[in-house]
Amino acid sequence: MPRLRVLSLWILLAAPAVAAVEVVDLGDRPFRHEPERLLFHVSYLYILGGYATMEVRHPPVPRQTEFVLRAWTTPFVSALYRLDMTLTSRCDPASLTTREYVEDRAENKYRIFHHARFGPGKSLVYGHLARGRTNYETFPMERYRFDALSSFYVARCLDLSRPGTVYHTTVHYHQDPHHVEIRVLDRRRIKTAWGTMDTIVIVPKMDFRGIFMNEGDILIYLSDDKYLVPVYMESKLSFGSFRAVLKEGYPGPVRP
């Protein structure tokens, strides 16, 4: 079931308002990177296909915030197509600019590994696994540096209160910079594991296959409060649909 690759989570209407986002000062934003762990049930064609967790961690390293996304298929689906993926983004806690990004993904019998270190100045050291060995190269980098995972948390720090607002930024995926657009679509009331909830719907658009598949718009429903917690995600694909539903976490604890 290759479409479950969309587990590599996260991000219609044209809008006149456009805001340029490069480095965001997050010091006075509501989302202050408190420890957080969210558990999602992920379905494809209404069949439970896997699970995903999104975590905010504070490792014992000075001035560092860590974001971790893990996704894996159920035993039933794994018999047909197995996915076990972990993305790790280590960032500066004030600006969320990336210091290190790691993608470790197992698909069936294959392993895919990418490792990027964002060096001082405008240098990017990028490594990928080939023939059992990780090979590294150095590439020039634009000044503003987010990765595909941290850009989702940047979105949760923006002013999303006005439907029609459009934000633009640049993220580095593998060794290349890519343009990302975040549109605030509208407000919707939906049913969640904690009852009916007011949400803000955003649509990330990007030109690469990273956390999000670029074959269809992915709608992300964030709680309409100061925390902007993702409670539901959906996407219409060329064949079928994908849904990720928050089952445990905010506002309740996630069992280990």
SS3 per residue for 51-116: EEEEEEECCCCCCCEEEEEEEEECHHHHCCCCEEEEEEEEECCCCCCEEEEEEEEEECCEEEEEEE
| DSSP result, 162-230 | STT-EEEEEEEETTEEEEEEEEEEEEEEEEETTEEEEEEEEEEEESS-SSS-TTS-EEEEEESSSS--E
**So what's the pLDDT on residue 164?**
92
Question: Mean pLDDT over all residues of the chain?
Answer: 79
pTM reported for the whole predicted model: 0.83
**So what's the pLDDT on residue 39?**
95
Confidence of residue 202 (pLDDT cuts 50, 70, 90): very high
Residue-wise pLDDT tens digits, 117-170: 887 666 777 777 766 777 787 877 766 578 889 888 988 988 899 999 998 888
Average pLDDT over residues 178-196: 90
**So what's the pLDDT on residue 98?**
87
For the chain, the domains span 2-248
